[in-house]
A and B are shown apart, each in its own frame.
Chain A
Amino acid sequence: DIQMTQSPSTLSASVGDSVTITCRASQSVSPWLAWYQQKPGKAPRLLIYQASRLQSGVPSRFSGSGSGTEFTLTIGSLQPDDFATYYCHQYSAYSWTFGQGTKVEIK
């Protein structure tokens, strides 16, 4: 299986900060990489697919980049609603796998 490793595991930031989360794959998954946001007790929400395509309805402060084995999710100016856990997800090959998650906390 392709292993997905996110860093950091936890990120403390303030409203207005720009934050970046990194996801590394154990082999190339390009460009079949998605990012999801999950809040406690809620289902995940798709933010980015194909590494850099913004899902309809998602604010433009979210952006994705990368290729091959290294990908990033950037939140341009953190808003109160953005404090949540973020997961990367490869759908290049079965078994599909997720990163372990990055929790974005209020500093």
Chain B
Amino acid sequence: EVQLVESGGTLVQPGGSLRLSCAASGFLFRTHSMNWVRQAPGKGLEWISYISSDGTTIEYSDSVKGRFTISRDNGKNSLYLQTISLRVEDTAVYYCARGDCGGDCHIDNWGQGTLVTVSS
């Protein structure tokens, strides 16, 4: 069974930083691309970052580019999101999401999310 477990979310002040982690199990992590998607309270889904299976291709949304850094450790079956210069509008549940790049490259599995609250 695919399992994605996020951690690291907490209350942080504006301008602060945080590192989110996602522990993967139940599948061959090193063969799958991964994503981070967030959801502000009561709002819709927002894709924010992608990393290829080998970590060589990375994409970001404009809303986080230059402030967030995605990375992965295939030896530890883990995905990370380093965030800096956090803003109030970054408050959201952050989901780790697996890519299925068989025929195309869509998101097929999601973790339960970790809540990041940016507030003074």
Identify the A interface with B (CB < 8 A): 1, 31-32, 34, 36, 38, 42-46, 49-50, 55, 87, 89, 91, 94-101
Give bound CA distance, A58 to B38, whole Å. 24
B110, A96: Cβ atoms closer than 8 Å = no
A43-B110, A43-B112, A101-B44 given; 5 more Cβ-contact pairs under 8 Å: A44-B95, A46-B106, A46-B107, A49-B106, A55-B108
A87, B106: Cβ atoms closer than 8 Å = no
Give bound CA distance, A1 to B60, whole Å. 12
Report which of A49, A50, A55, A100 forms a contact with B44, defined as CB distance below 8 A.
A100
Main secondary structure of the interface of B (DSSP, over half): strand
Interface residue total, chain B, C-beta cutoff 8 A: 23
The verdict on A96 contacting B44 (CB below 8 Å), with A43-B113, A46-B107 known, is no
Interface string of B4-23 (1 = CB under 8 A from A): 00000000000000000000
Residues of B within 8 A of A46 (CB): 106-109
What's the minimum C-beta distance from A51 to chain B, rounded to whole angstroms? 10
Most B C-beta atoms less than 10 A away, residue of A36, A44, A55, A97: A44
Per the 8 Å Cβ criterion, residues 93-115 of B in contact with A are 95, 100, 103-113
